[in-house]
Amino acid sequence: MLWPSIALLIFVTLQRLAELVYARHNTKALLARGAREYAAAHYPLMVAMHATWLIGLWVFAIGRPIEPVWLSLFMILQALRLWVLATLGDRWTTRIIILPGAPLVTKGPYRLLSHPNYAVVVGEIATLPLAFGMPIYAAIFSVLNAVILIIRIRAENACLKQAFT
């Protein structure tokens, strides 16, 4: 059946597009308040990887049956994603943006992990393809995501250390 896979991919696509709009809005507002963007060089690579992951799912996952266990895990990750977004509020963005004088967020999921959003993304990159029965796809993009996250987290940690010490 086509419709379950199409419905899930529409959901994820609309979610990602809405997040990009939200992130762009927050980025502009933060920059207007005196924030600065850091370590932007890797950002196009990160966007390209995520776009390729989603486009590839549209190409290869249409019509595949959906595995309920993996779908359930993916949906739990969506709830965790919302928790991260709600915790950061107007400070959530897809870029490394630091607002001078603003305290480091230490509530919500940030009490448990330094980078909960990235933990959610790691899970999503793997679980959505697995929900479509695509383990090789999940593995390939998990490795690509890991490479990008190593670069991203090192850059973000260095920027945060500099801003908060």
Helices 43-60 and 135-163, packing angle to 10 deg: 160
Identify any residues that bridge with 137 across adjacent strands, giving them in sequence order.
none
Q: What is the pLDDT of residue 1?
A: 73
- pLDDT over 80 (residue 26): yes
- pLDDT over 80 (residue 33): yes
When divided into structural domains, the chain yields a total of: 1
63: helix, coil or strand? coil
Q: What is the pLDDT of residue 163?
A: 80
Domain extent for 154 = 3-163
Q: Give percent above pLDDT 70 in the chain.
A: 100
Q: What is the CATH number of the domain that holds 13?
A: 1.20.120.1630
Q: What is the pLDDT of residues 34-80, one digit of tens each?
A: 999 999 999 999 999 999 999 999 999 999 999 999 999 999 999 99
Indicate the residue type of 118.
Answer: Y
Contacts of 107 (CB under 8 A, 6+ apart): 87
Distance of alpha carbon 128 from alpha carbon 148, whole angstroms: 19
Q: Where are the alpha helices (DSSP H) in 89-134?
A: 116-131
Indicate the pLDDT class of residue 146, thresholds 50, 70 and 90.
very high
Q: What is the pLDDT of residue 102?
A: 92
What average pLDDT does this structure show over 3-23? 97
Contacts of 122 (CB under 8 A, 6+ apart): 142, 145, 146, 149
